[in-house]
A and B are shown apart, each in its own frame.
Chain A
Amino acid sequence: MANEQIFVGLEIGTTKISVIVAEARADDQISILGVGETPSRGVRKGEIVDMETVTECVREAILDAEDKTNVEIGNVWVAITGSHLESFNNRGSLALPEERQIEPEDLDAVEISAKEVAIPTPNTFLHTILQAYHVDGNQNVIDPLKSEGAMLEADFHIVHGIKTRIHNTLRCIESLKIGIEDVVLSSLASAQVVLSQDQKNYGALMIDIGGGTTDYLVYIDGSIRHSGVLALGGDHITNDISVGLRLPIARAELLKIQEGSATDPAGSPGGIILLKNDPRFLGCDVDRTSLDTIIYLRVNEIFELIRRDIESSVEGMIDLIRGVMITGGGSKLKGIAQVAEEVFEIPVELTRARNVSGATQIFEDPQYSTAIGLTKYARLVTKNIAPESMLERFTQRLGSLFKKRSR
């Protein structure tokens, strides 16, 4: 068992904090040992607003995971989200002094040149993800290290965010005397387990609907072309129900889970939903069409916003997306796939972590996609065997860079 490594993924979500403990097996698979979890307090829209409370919640979740797995957690991989995160694509270029074989240092240099762009002063780079190399105008060179040339260019997807907000997350974990292996964009983590390599190559949009945020990522030709965070999520649906039907938040949440449907209210069966009395709530009758209308409008709007963002980011990109994969706790809402199909006009699939083994009940729930994805990401970044794709080979190199930076 000497080859086996333990990876811990920590997601500080708006609804819950989850800790996934997974074992990397020799056959390139991730096997989940267990999950620690606590309801989250002090997080709004994916960002920490109450440091003390969140730290306490994270401690509980870590202890819970340690209890369940008998693993002593020393280092974690952390997912990060929030509307402050922004992304763009940029090309770096490097003119070699003479025509020669490309060296690994050249790859580093071209990456640095791609990062020589002005980002807002409070921001810092989170990810620089390779899309493709070009040598002497020769597009999409698979392995530049084996080619000769005088001009090396590379396209990158660059993610940046506000330094202080990223630091908040780090500070919270460090105060628990837990080491941080790396910080990973939530959607990038989720994509590692919900998208297959074929889907990435074919062109896919992954949407992870959480409590406070909706994170999305576009893969085309096997590389990331766009990513985004929308500070809207399941909490907004609950809030809309609470405002529209004048229900307390807790009752609205329950109603959403039990009766909620995102399908077009034109097809709603109508009728009345009876809400029973309970000690803190006087019962009432709720009009189902009204409930459906509230949810449909919000969900439809979330997808519309994503579509518009993708359309405005890179021209023509939306036409290259062949399928939409929806994951996250929000994907459990009835009828959500139909609404997405209406908006994107391409096949939509509800999905969850795949290519993992272990405690199956855990990964069958889409709300753990990000935390499980973290462990898979960790595996890809740290393993020494040949990675399955160019992207992953690159993230591997990136991972070592990150470590240099964070220590």
Chain B
Amino acid sequence: MNTNPSRRILVGVGNAGVTVLDMLSVEVPGMTGLLAVNNDRDSLNASIVRDKIEVPEGDPGEGFRVIDDEFGQALDGASVVILCGGLGGETGSFLLPALAIRAKSTGLTTMACVGMPFSFEGKHRRDLAERALEKLQEICDAVIVIGNDQLSGGSPSTAAVGEAFLLSDRTLLASLLALSGMLSTSGPVKITRADIHNVLGKPGALTHFGFGKAEGSNRLHEALERAMKSPLLALPGKGSALKETSMILLLLRGAKDISFAEVQAVVGKIEQIAGDNCQIKVGVHADGPLGSPLELYLLASSGGTVRKPAKTIESIEPSEPIGSNRITLPQPIKSIREGEMPSRRAPLEKGADEFFPALTNPTSKSGMKPAVSPKQMQGTLALDTYQRGRFDKSEPTIFEGEDLDVPTFLRKGIKLNPPSRK
């Protein structure tokens, strides 16, 4: 396990982290660059993750040596490390910051997805978790914080304890997928590491995270609706947290036929909620087989203190002028032919064309230059020319992908005799 071809390592730390990686291996078979780190041999032995590091318990000196040597080796050839685990326990609270320091010392972009303990786990764990989080936020370029209390806030009081932890693990997994998915977006519309740092690099900030998955003709609206229902996207008593944020990261992953219109629609809906002052950064992975479900991930943060970019952020391959790739709704792409990439600084021209370029090239890695590959697939752009009339600004009534606010006769393509004016 020397060089990691994907150049991105996902590290599951502690029991929670290892569980999440196991779930990930089941969900995304064949994923490489996974590493389980724990001090619990039984948990490591039970894990289906191939690469494992056991950090001995009770001997801090030996522990640091293992982190320094074995973990250091595992980092060979990687460019990004994402740590994942639960804070509050002795293992995660100690190991996560230690591993982050080690990764950072090699000059790697280091990120973390961590879960904060439930309040019923006691004040001791809470304090431990908070101290560890503070450290992590100091070290890492980006930290996603999943508040378990907040997460379970809306679930029925009858939910079993096990279910609550499962939900927490599932959310951690989703956030891990979101982060690693965002890091590997490429093409004209992508999320850069600088964007991620911008959103998730603020010490003390609350992370807002939502994800939804849906299929069928109404997939986009359903996925977005599910994502918006995430309790982590709400501020107690204030409604949607998106209103309080200045930048939102949006990742769409799904079948090849994700259409430009769909991306536009989802960005438009989020803009409606978040307001005009919020930037939305979009990344799309349209590499799944036809019919695969659409996954939608939203990441944002509120509060916290702005920090200067960590040093390694400057070492990112020059790829993207920061802030040039914002999609705004009323600007459909006119036409981009193969090999003829428009300057990404130039505003997208208005107009309509039958085709749109693929938004990502799935095989290109974050470091590669974002050129349009000749293999890029094209899809039909469903232009929304329908008239919604007085319902223009109201929440649409969508059924099986049809916008029912649009007059039935228009949707059925029935021709009418126009009125004659005298």
Q: Please list the residues of chain A having a beta carbon within 8 angstroms of any beta carbon in chain B.
A: 44-45, 49, 83, 116, 118-122, 164, 230-232, 235-236, 238-240, 242-247, 249, 275, 282-287, 289-290, 293-294, 297-298, 300-301, 305
Contacts and interface: CB of A to CB of B under 8 A. Distances in A.
Interface string B393-422: 011010100001101111010101111111
Interface in B339-394: 387-391, 394
Contact of B154 (A121, A243, A275): A121
Contacts of B154: 121-122
A203 B154 CA distance: 37
28 contacts: A45-B394, A49-B394, A118-B156, A121-B153, A121-B154, A121-B231, A122-B234, A231-B404, A232-B397, A236-B405, A239-B391, A240-B389, A240-B408, A243-B407, A245-B418, A245-B419, A247-B419, A282-B422, A283-B422, A284-B419, A287-B416, A289-B417, A293-B409, A294-B407, A297-B412, A298-B408, A298-B409, A305-B404
A244 B409 contact: yes
Centre residue among A297, A298, A305 by max chain B CB count within 10 A: A297
Contacts of B418: 245-246
B158 interface: yes
Using C-beta atoms within 8 Å of the partner chain, give the interface range for chain B.
20 to 34
B420 A297 contact: no
B419 A287 contact: yes
Contacts of A293: 409, 414, 416
Nearest to A212: B394
Contacts of A49: 394
B156 to A, nearest CB: 7
Contact of B158 (A116, A249, A289): A116
B229 interface: yes
B416 A290 contact: yes
Interface of B: 153-156, 158-159, 229, 231, 234, 239, 387-391, 394-395, 397, 399, 404-405, 407-410, 412, 414, 416-422
A242 B405 CA distance: 13
Contacts of A238: 390
Contacts of B394: 44-45, 49
A290 B397 CA distance: 24
Nearest to A235: B390
Contacts of A297: 407-409, 412, 414
B229 to A, nearest CB: 5
Given A44-B394, A45-B397, A285 B407 contact: no
Centre residue among B395, B409, B419 by max chain A CB count within 10 A: B419
A398 to B, nearest CB: 19
B49 to A, nearest CB: 30
A289 B415 CA distance: 11
Nearest to B156: A118
A300 B411 CA distance: 14
Nearest to B391: A239
Contacts of A298: 407-409
Given A45-B394, A239-B391, A243-B387, A285 B408 contact: no
A83 B388 CA distance: 18
A11 B405 CA distance: 23
B217 to A, nearest CB: 14
Nearest to A118: B156
B417 A290 contact: yes
Contacts of B419: 245-247, 275, 284-287
B395 A239 contact: no
Given A49-B394, A122-B154, A245-B419, A301 B408 contact: yes
Nearest to B386: A243
Contacts of B422: 282-285
A164 B421 contact: no
B228 to A, nearest CB: 9
A119 to B, nearest CB: 7
A245 to B, nearest CB: 5
A214 to B, nearest CB: 11
Name the 5 nearest CB pairs between A and B, nearest first: A121-B154, A240-B407, A287-B417, A297-B408, A290-B416
Given A121-B154, A122-B154, A122-B229, A285 B397 contact: no
A244 B407 contact: yes
A300 B419 CA distance: 23
A244 B231 contact: no
B155 A249 contact: no
